[in-house]
Amino acid sequence: MKKIYVQTDIIKEMIQHSIEENPNECCGLIKSAKNDFQQLFRMTNIDKSPYRYRMDPKELLNTLTKIEDDSGSLYSIYHSHTHSEAYPSATDVRIATWPDGTSVWPGVYYFLVTLMDNNNPYARAFEIDDGDIIEVEIIKT
C-alpha cells in the first residue's frame, strides 16, 4: 500500500471541522509546499447536506489561486461522511472523474472523515485514479 505523509495537526483539524459541521458534510482543501509544510483550508459546503457536498465555486477559485500564488500545490481534497464509512461513494467518484473517465485532479489525494461513531471519528485517504479507488496509508508526522 502506498504511504503518504500528513501532519498530525492537519488530521486533527479535518476531524474537528467534520464535528463542527455535523449533521452536514464538511469539505476543504489541503495545500502542500516545497518544504512539506501543509495547510488546511476550510471550504463552504453550499449544499448544506448530510449526504453530499459542493464547494462554493468562488471560494474554491480564490483558494486555488492563493495556493498557486504561495508557490504551493493542491495536495488533497477532504470531506466528511456523517452516516457512512470513510470510503468514497459512487457520488464521490463521479465528482472526481470527468465524463470521459479521466481524473479531475490527477495526483491529488482524497481524505474522508467518518462520523458514524461520534466517539471515534477517523480519516482515511484514497487516490481516485480514472475512476478507480486506491486506498493509501496515512503516516502522521
Find where cell 495547510 sits: 39
Has residue 80 got a pLDDT over 90?
yes
Q: List the CATH number of the domain containing 74.
A: 3.40.140.10
User: How confident is the model over 92-122, as pLDDT tens digits?
Assistant: 999 999 999 999 999 999 999 999 998 999 9
pLDDT value at residue 36: 75
**All three cell numbers of 118:** 461520534
The tally of domains found in the chain comes to: 1
**All three cell numbers of 11:** 488530521
User: How confident is the model over 114-127, as pLDDT tens digits?
Assistant: 999 989 999 999 99
* Domain containing residue 92: 3-140
**All three cell numbers of 98:** 470527468
Separation CA 93–CA 50 (nearest Å): 17
Q: How confident is the model at residue 16 (pLDDT cuts 50, 70, 90)?
A: very high
pTM: 0.94
Q: What angle do CA 62, 42, 4 make, to 5 degrees?
A: 100
**DSSP secondary-structure letter at 14?**
H
Q: How confident is the model at residue 70 (pLDDT cuts 50, 70, 90)?
A: confident
**DSSP secondary-structure letter at 22?**
T
pLDDT value at residue 111: 98
